[in-house]
Structure 1
Amino acid sequence: MKVLKIAGALALGAMLAACQTNGMGTKQIGGGLIGAGVGGLAGSQIGDGRGQLLATGTGAVIGLLVGSEIGKSLDRADKLYAERTAQQALETNPSGQPARWRNPDSGNRGQITPTRTYKQSGSYCREYQTTIMVGGKAQTGYGTACRMPDGSWQMQ
């Protein structure tokens, strides 16, 4: 289960972070680099010794590939649609009810579905599943977000 949560955070983080750069080709490069970093960090949480080193390297490579592919397609508007939808869904949707977004300019779309709500260290947290469609290809992820004191939801 821990691997699925890490993979979800990796996928969503790479999907959303890949949009932070702009200009021709820089979204793909930036997405790849951010994905590699997130993937390496996620991989470092698995195993120990040589197994941990292998997991870190594998996570970095997977993150690089996912972040690069998404980064070359998503733009700043896609990221805003996804983030707004995620914040609203995590705050108001019951578990199992998806919230969808679509960028009419790019045609990219996605959804986030809260799957479970629980309390951790005094804060409410929600597990979620997300799918983003870019160029007809679906990228899915699973993760956890917790409500911050200001009322926003932070992806873990």
Structure 2
Amino acid sequence: MPIRDRALSHAAIRTIAAAALVAVSATASSANLGFLNNTPITYMKQRDLQALNNAAQIALNTKKDGESLEWDNKGTGNTVPINGTVTPQETFESDGLKCRKVTLVAIAKGQTQTWMPTACKQSDGKWKLKKQ
């Protein structure tokens, strides 16, 4: 076999091996996240997440601790109806920023999912999740 053909053959084998490794890694990764199957997050598309973010911005700006704002994904184009609540829980100051713990709830296909992050108000007036 000429040197050029051997080089192409080795390149093809490396490409196939890399693709196989990626496929195995993806399978293992999704197996580790199997507990998320059929939870609201698995049905959410980018526009649904934007609807939740918009509701969170409004709730964090207008609701008192313990007051909830209802949200839904109507108008996002998703065929799976998703709704829930955003409830600010605790307001405090951190690193000179106004922060609030918030409970985010999403309900889809009979399943409920809850997140409890902390958001801080940035200098531009928008709330951003605080890295934990």
| TM bucket, shorter chain | 0.5 to 0.7
Determine if the alignment matches structure 1 residue 114 to structure 2 residue 88: yes
Cα gap change, 1:67/1:154 in structure 2, threshold over 3 Å: closer, same or farther? farther
TM-score, structure 2 as length reference = 0.64
Task: Identify the residue that residue 124 of structure 2 maps to in structure 1.
Answer: 150
Unmatched 5+ stretches in structure 1:
1-28, 37-60
Which structure has more RCO (C-alpha within 8 Å, separation ≥ 6)?
1
Q: Deviations over 1:93-151 (max 9, x none)?
A: 11111111112353111211001101111100001111100211000121210111111
User: Which is helix-richer, 1 or 2?
Assistant: 1
Note the 1:1-156 alignment, pairs <5 A: 61=32, 65-66=35-36, 69-104=39-74, 106-156=80-130
Q: Report sequence identity in percent.
A: 26
Alpha-carbon offset, residue 65 of structure 1 = 3.4
Aligned length: 98
TM-score, structure 1 as length reference = 0.55
User: Which is strand-richer, 1 or 2?
Assistant: 2
Q: Which runs of 4+ in 1 moved over 6 A?
A: none
Give yes or no for contact 1:74–1:134 (8 Å, CA) kept in 2: no
The alignment's C-alpha RMSD in Å is 2.4
